[in-house]
Amino acid sequence: MTDGHRSIRELLGSYALGHLDGPEQITVAAHLDTCVACRTELAELTPLAARPTGVDADRVEGTPGPPPELADRVLDRVRAERRATRHVPRRDVLVAAAAVVVAGAVGFALGTTRDGVPLEPVAVQALDPDLVAQANLVPHTWGMEIKLDGAGFDPGAVYRVTVRDEQGREVDAGEFLGTGPNELHCNLNSSVLRDAAAGFTVLDDEGAVVLAAQLR
Amino acid sequence: MVRAFDETVIDTWGVEEALRRISAEHRSAIVQTHLRGHPHAEVAAELGVAVGTLRSRVFYGLKALRLAMEEMGVQP
């Protein structure tokens, strides 16, 4: 592994949390296009980006938790109860996951990027009934960023995102790995400016469109 | 709905507990940048480390958090 790979790898946490902007974000996105190891690592970290919704920083830093063995016993009881009561079909799990995705987006993003740039929510049509997704756009001087949140993408499968410009040209916006029923949050970057973007699509590893959004 | 709310509370508690189990350096990096939303440069200055060091702590902190959650049986 090169030093470049190592230094970019250590940016993946901030990238997964949406904390990078400008050149660093572009550098990481470009590296991800060519590095399977980093894409895999990012896919493991991305679900954590939504987790802090409802988590209280003051409780984490200021309140001592229960002894670990007590916490483990509580969690064991919860898991046992869930196993005993949860016999829901996969569809219901995905609906629940969708609710979490929406809550995560509202709770964490608060409708703006970290620089205060407003997010533009867009309607996303799922052509695969197993998928749930929503997206927000961020206009940049260098192009357009798609913040995609979803669940139900086949775990480990590579999905490709393209942005269609006003001339009907399909421009690559990056790839991501599916995370199954786990929430997925990823930022995809395209060189198409927001005003010139007519739509975007997400394609599965066989090139079939699984998500589509009209942007005008 | 009540069960969904209960599960959310349990999941939230599980994540908070997992955050308590990772190292103080990793926890501080995640809490300050992600939960509190403070700029990286500001947090790095407060901690007396380079921004790159802080980002490294965020990265390894998230990996440690994921591991802690897996060990606790909390779904990442």
Distance from CA of B18 to the nearest CA of A (A): 9
Task: Give the pLDDT score at A89.
Answer: 44
Task: Give the pLDDT score at A78.
Answer: 61
In this complex, is the C-beta atom of B14 within 8 Å of any C-beta atom belonging to chain A? yes
In this complex, is the C-beta atom of B68 within 8 Å of any C-beta atom belonging to chain A? no
pTM (two decimals): 0.51
Chain A residues with CB under 8 Å of B65 CB are 48
**Read out DSSP for A141-186?**
SS-EEEEEEEE-BPTT-EEEEEEEETTS-EEEEEEEE--BTS-EEE
Q: With contact defined as beta carbons under 8 Å apart, do A195 and A163 qualify?
A: no
pLDDT > 70 fraction of chain A, expressed in percent and rounded: 71
Residue A205 pLDDT grade (very low, low, confident, very high; cuts 50, 70, 90): confident
Residues of chain B with pLDDT under 70: 1-10, 76
pLDDT tens digit sequence for A114-123? 555 677 888 7
Distance from CA of A114 to the nearest CA of B (A): 8
Task: Give the pLDDT score at A208.
Answer: 85
Task: Give the pLDDT score at B39.
Answer: 93
Of A10, A52, A66, the CB nearest to B56: A10
Residue A107 to residue A99: CA distance in whole angstroms: 12
> pLDDT at residue A162 above 90?
yes
Of A44, A60, A85, the CB nearest to B20: A60
Chain A residues with CB under 8 Å of B35 CB are 52, 55-57, 60
pLDDT > 90 fraction of chain A, expressed in percent and rounded: 20
Distance from CA of B31 to the nearest CA of A (A): 6
**Max CA separation in chain A (angstroms):** 61
> pLDDT at residue A159 above 80?
yes
Contact B34 A52 (CB under 8 A): yes
In this complex, is the C-beta atom of B20 within 8 Å of any C-beta atom belonging to chain A? yes
Contact A14 B33 (CB under 8 A): yes
